[in-house]
């Protein structure tokens, strides 16, 4: 065999970038798995940094395995694809998202028809890809992978370009509602007032002033009483809800995992205990979610009330609210907080309330005042309107607490945990990207022995 013959054989045995086989592989695994998401892109925010490449990688494995494996492998990749989309929507870092899988037993994913429908679409997409793959299996063998990788990267770049306004950028500097208002433990203790800190689930920063006013107007009764001065603003965020708790309660970026290693941490509640305050927390969901029963005491909470211990009061907490995150109703928890603050007026208290019922997927309020979904709705986008109505109920409950004549002098913070995690592009456009809203009702009353703010 001469050198020319050897070169010809070698050329035929090496995959070609321009071969029909290579581009069939590229179309089947670099484009087809992403068609559903590309078609949804004009309507839904779905950022997928790795998913398109995962399908290419799965194809390489499936070519070397029995055909039946494809019917398992591609649906599994499709579910992983959905998980990565959800991770981006809910602002979960990858390692936090992986660890959060252990909490799935605490939620009821079947309670959301939307979640089930989306899961069904992704799984069906995975099965469809497996069918096409097995039908073309022989024609794909030995194909060069590079064109498929390039097409998959192209899909990723296209999605990132279209979703650029919604992509989370790292915060340029640390800030929190407490730090923005100079509310450090020493200053609070010197003034002598209580603090009620309300962390509102999913409260982003409504960009339309008229929509934002719906929330601030719920605080008007407290302001008109003459006891409070209202201020508000925006602040940076990182992470999901436990990231917000680290931001506000411990004054640093982080999440719950940063407070599981030691018995105590230098956080805001602990500093208030050192200054003679009683520190109390309320949350209407399970104490096991993100291990709050373990790290809340470590950051300084002396008392913590969750679904498990609050639900024993059948008279007050007989109802349940929410769907996937079904727990106590925020309205009922607000009543318990009001009692806790008014029945011990002599006790200096730092009370933290993490709300629940506006967690997506949420249950809309029936026949609410905003007339959501009707021609007379105060906010045209139904999803934004319904969420605003749930937040407005929290604000109204806070105003009722603030107005109570039995409430001792108390500064009240209302803060969003993270931007509203919306899939719908039209709904997401109603919020200022990368920011959360905060409000402060500063009590004008002087405490005996305390200093002015």
Note whether 190 and 162 are same-domain residues: no
Mean pLDDT of all residues in 153-182 = 90
> What is the distance of C-alpha 386 from the center of its chain?
17
**How would you classify the pairing of strands 431-443 and 204-206?**
antiparallel
In a domain, 313, yes or no: yes
Average pLDDT over every residue of 98-112: 80
Give the pLDDT of residue 146: 93
- Average pLDDT for residues 412-440, to the nearest whole number? 94
Query: Between residues 395 and 5, which one has the greater pLDDT?
Result: 395
Whether the CB-CB separation of 302 and 340 falls below 8 Å is answered with no
Q: Residue 273, Cα to own-chain centre: how many angstroms?
A: 30
Alpha helices, DSSP H, located in 173-299 = 177-180, 185-191, 209-217, 220-224, 241-250, 268-274, 292-298
Separation of alpha carbons 92 and 168, rounded Å: 11
Percent of the chain with pLDDT over 70: 95
Computed over every residue of the chain, the mean pLDDT equals: 91
Distances (CA, A) of 351 to 140, 272, 273, 302, 360: 63, 11, 12, 10, 25
- Percent of the chain with pLDDT strictly greater than 90: 77
Q: Is residue 104 part of a domain?
A: yes
Residues 235 and 316 in one domain: yes
Do the domain assignments include residue 434?
yes
Q: Provide the pLDDT confidence category of residue 17 given band limits of 50, 70 and 90.
A: low
Residue 183 lies inside a defined structural domain of this protein: yes
At 230-289, the pLDDT tens digits run 999 999 999 999 999 999 999 999 999 999 999 999 999 999 999 999 999 999 999 999
pLDDT bin (cut points 50, 70, 90) of residue 182 is very high
Of the residues 142, 166, 190, the one at which a domain ends: 166
Q: Residue 104: what pLDDT?
A: 77
Task: Count the neighbouring beta carbons within 10 Å of the beta carbon of residue 9.
Answer: 10
Instruction: Indicate which CATH number applies to the domain containing 197.
Output: 3.40.720.10
Do 202 and 153 share a structural domain? no
Q: State the residue range of the domain holding 372.
A: 177-443
118 in the same domain as 27: yes
pLDDT one-digit tens code per residue, 199-231: 999 999 999 999 999 999 999 999 999 999 999
Specify if 333 maps to a domain: yes
Query: What's the predicted TM-score (pTM) here?
Result: 0.90
Same domain assignment for residues 289 and 256: yes
pLDDT digits (tens, 9 = 90+) for 25-67: 999 999 999 999 999 989 988 778 889 999 999 999 999 999 9
User: In this predicted model, which residue has the larger pLDDT, 185 or 6?
Assistant: 185
At residue 6, the pLDDT reads: 40
In a domain, 10, yes or no: no
Contact 302, 278 (CB under 8 A): yes
Residues 406, 315, single domain; the answer is: yes
More confident residue, 95 or 341: 341
Find the angle CA(345)-CA(409)-CA(244) to the nearest 5 degrees.
Answer: 100
| Distance, CA of 189 to CA of 172 (rounded, Å) | 30
pLDDT for 308: 95
pLDDT > 90? residue 418: yes
From 137, 166, 195, give the residue that closes a domain: 166
Which of the four pLDDT bands, split at 50, 70 and 90, describes residue 5?
very low
Average pLDDT of the segment spanning 286-293: 95
Q: Of 141, 166, 191, which residue constitutes the final position of a domain?
A: 166
Name the phi and psi angles at 135, rounded to 5: -65, -30
Examine residue 410 and state whether it is found in any structural domain, yes or no: yes
Same domain, 128 and 185: no
Q: Work out the pLDDT band at 16, boundaries 50, 70, 90.
A: low
> At 448, is the pLDDT very low, low, confident or very high (cuts 50, 70, 90)?
low
Within 8 A by CB and 6+ apart from 290, the residues are 100, 103, 241, 242, 256
Q: What is the pLDDT of residues 371-394, one digit of tens each?
A: 999 999 999 999 999 999 999 999
What value does the mean pLDDT take over residues 426-440? 95
Residues 218 and 334 in one domain: yes
In a domain, 40, yes or no: yes
Kindly state the helix (H) or strand (E) to which residue 77 belongs, with its residue range. helix 67-89
Residues 161 and 254 in one domain: no
Instruction: Report which of 36, 50, 49, 51 is spatially closest to residue 122, judged by C-alpha positions.
Output: 36
pLDDT in tens, 84-93: 888 888 877 7
Give the pLDDT score at 449.
62
Per-residue confidence band for 165, with pLDDT thresholds at 50, 70 and 90: confident
Number of folded domains in the chain? 2
pLDDT band at 315; cut points 50, 70, 90: confident
Q: What is the structure's pLDDT at 9?
A: 39
Same domain, 213 and 64: no
Contact 242, 99 (CB under 8 A): no
241 shares its domain with 358:
yes
Looking at the structure, tell me whether residues 389 and 417 fall in a common domain: yes
């Amino acid at each position: 065999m001469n050198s020319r013959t050897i070169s010809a054989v070698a050329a035929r045995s090496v995959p070609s970038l321009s071969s029909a086989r290579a581009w069939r592989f590229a179309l089947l695994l670099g484009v087809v798995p992403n068609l559903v998401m590309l078609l949804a892109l004009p309507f839904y925010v779905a950022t997928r940094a790795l998913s398109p490449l995962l399908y290419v990688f799965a194809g390489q494995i499936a070519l070397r395995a029995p055909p039946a494996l494809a019917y398992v492998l591609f649906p599994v990749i499709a579910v992983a694809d959905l998980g990565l989309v959800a991770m981006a929507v809910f602002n979960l870092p990858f390692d936090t998202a992986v660890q959060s899988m252990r909490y799935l037993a605490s939620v009821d994913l079947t309670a959301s028809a939307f979640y089930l429908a989306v899961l069904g679409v992704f799984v069906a997409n995975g099965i469809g890809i497996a069918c096409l793959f097995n039908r073309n299996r022989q024609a794909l063998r030995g194909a060069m992978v590079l064109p498929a990788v390039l097409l998959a990267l192209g899909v990723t770049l296209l999605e990132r370009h279209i979703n650029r306004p919604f992509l989370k950028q790292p915060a340029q500097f640390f800030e929190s509602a407490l730090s923005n208002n100079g509310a450090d433990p020493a200053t609070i203790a010197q003034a002598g007032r209580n603090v009620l800190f309300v962390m509102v689930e999913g409260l982003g920063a409504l960009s339309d002033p008229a929509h934002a006013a719906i929330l601030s107007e719920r605080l008007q009764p407290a302001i008109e009483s003459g006891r409070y001065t209202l201020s508000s603003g925006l602040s940076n965020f990182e992470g999901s809800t436990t990231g917000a708790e680290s931001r506000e309660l411990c004054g640093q970026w982080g999440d719950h995992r940063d407070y599981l290693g030691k018995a105590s941490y230098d956080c805001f509640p602990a500093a208030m205990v050192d200054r003679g305050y009683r520190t109390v927390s309320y949350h209407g969901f399970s104490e096991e979610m993100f291990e709050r029963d373990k790290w809340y005491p470590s950051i300084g909470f002396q008392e913590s009330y969750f679904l498990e211990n609050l639900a024993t009061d059948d008279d007050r907490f007989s109802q349940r609210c929410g769907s996937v995150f079904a727990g106590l109703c925020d309205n009922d928890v607000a009543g318990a907080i009001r009692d806790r603050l008014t029945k011990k007026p002599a006790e200096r208290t730092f009370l933290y309330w993490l709300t629940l019922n506006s967690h997506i997927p949420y249950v809309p309020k029936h026949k609410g005042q905003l007339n959501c979904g009707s021609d007379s709705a105060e906010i045209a986008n139904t999803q934004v309107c319904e969420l605003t109505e749930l937040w407005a109920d929290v604000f109204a409950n806070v105003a009722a607490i603030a107005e109570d004549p039995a409430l001792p002098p108390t500064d009240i913070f209302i803060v969003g945990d993270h931007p509203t995690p919306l899939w719908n592009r039209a709904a997401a456009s109603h919020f200022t990207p990368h920011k959360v809203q905060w409000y402060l009702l500063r009590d004008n009353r002087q405490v005996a022995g305390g200093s002015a703010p």
